[in-house]
Amino acid sequence: MGFLSHKVERSDIEAGDHIYTWKTGFSYSHHGIYLGGNKVVHFTREENKVSTGGFSISFSSTGEVSSLYSAPRAKELPACLHMPDCGFRQPQSGVVLSCLDCFLGGGSLCRFEYGISPLIFVVKLRGGTCTVADSDAPKTVIHRAMFLLHNGFGSYNLFENNCEDFALYCKTGLLIHDQTAPGRSGQVSGVVCAPLAAVLSSPLRWFMSSPISIAAAGAGLYCLSRYATDIGVRTDVIKAEVEDMVLFHGIIEGPNKPTNHVKSHKRPHESDQSDFPASKRQC
């Protein structure tokens, strides 16, 4: 287990795993759900501009973005000669089916960790690599990913609804019921918490003579702030059925809101998975 990433071999991943790959010199990561059989479902941006909650960010013709945390546009995903259905998506949807090679795009393969201890979480160097929340059973995770592949996951939003948010929901079923609140993404939490920690620690310079002490205090505030915004710790989350997610994101017209199940961060009892096909990829 690394403190910067969780790099694994292809033979190590199994169906239902939350995987990611680092892009542009570890500046950001792209996340998805591994289905087995060399297939990944992930959430991408659709247009040349991505909503950020109050402004938009423009992309170059190569898909690069000045922000750290973006995803490749569905239209820019490379054509694949190895898997006929690679690149499949519904019209006006950013949820895409890709082969593992196209998903990685030459980057390293990492596996997101679930159910880690609070102590391990706070000492991680980067957000967006783990959570204290528990994962649901692989069959449930894959069902959510496939349902959203055919029904969509709403509009891509850099801060509130990005590729990591998609994978986190598929794995846990947890949803922030306040749609104006920041999303579940650990990467975004890291960006928000860093300047916040700097501001909160600045008054400490009057009480600490050593720059090292001030830096340590700021780092501690940063880690604790990230922990407080983790989806496994937050109190503003609900367990939502994937069928209700479609209504939540406004993809299907209707007055209904997602079913508000009792908040729970505990792993539900897993059903018998004896009929679940073995789908670990052998290399």
Task: Identify which has the larger pLDDT, 268 or 221.
Answer: 221
Which range has the worst mean pLDDT, 75-79, 118-122, 215-219? 215-219
What pLDDT, on a 0 to 100 scale, did the predictor assign at position 74? 54
What whole-number distance in Å separates Cα of residue 265 and Cα of residue 174?
A: 8
Residue 149 tokens read as 């592949």
What whole-number distance in Å separates Cα of residue 178 and Cα of residue 195?
A: 23
Which range has the worst mean pLDDT, 26-40, 67-81, 216-230? 67-81
Catalytic residue among 99, 102, 163, 170: 163
Residue 192: alpha-carbon gap to chain centroid: 16
What whole-number distance in Å separates Cα of residue 120 and Cα of residue 131?
A: 10
Residue 195: strand, helix, or coil: helix
Q: Residue 59 phi/psi, 5° resolution?
A: -115, 150
What pLDDT, on a 0 to 100 scale, did the predictor assign at position 5? 59
The most confident of the ranges 29-38, 173-182, 196-205 is 29-38
pLDDT in tens, 10-46: 999 999 999 999 887 777 899 999 999 999 999 998 7
Catalytic residue among 42, 86, 99, 223: 42
Instruction: Say whether 177 is catalytic.
Output: no
Catalytic residue among 30, 86, 130, 193: 30
pLDDT at 102 over 70: yes
What whole-number distance in Å separates Cα of residue 193 and Cα of residue 222?
A: 6
Domains along the chain? 10-248 (3.90.1720.10)
Instruction: Say whether 223 is catalytic.
Output: no
Task: Give this prediction's pTM.
Answer: 0.70
Q: What is the dihedral of CA 69, 161, 232, 89, to 10 degrees?
A: -100
Could you give the angle at which helices 186-201 and 211-228 cross, rounded to 10 degrees? 140
Residue 184: strand, helix, or coil: coil
Instruction: Say whether 42 is catalytic.
Output: yes
Residue 172 tokens read as 């846990």
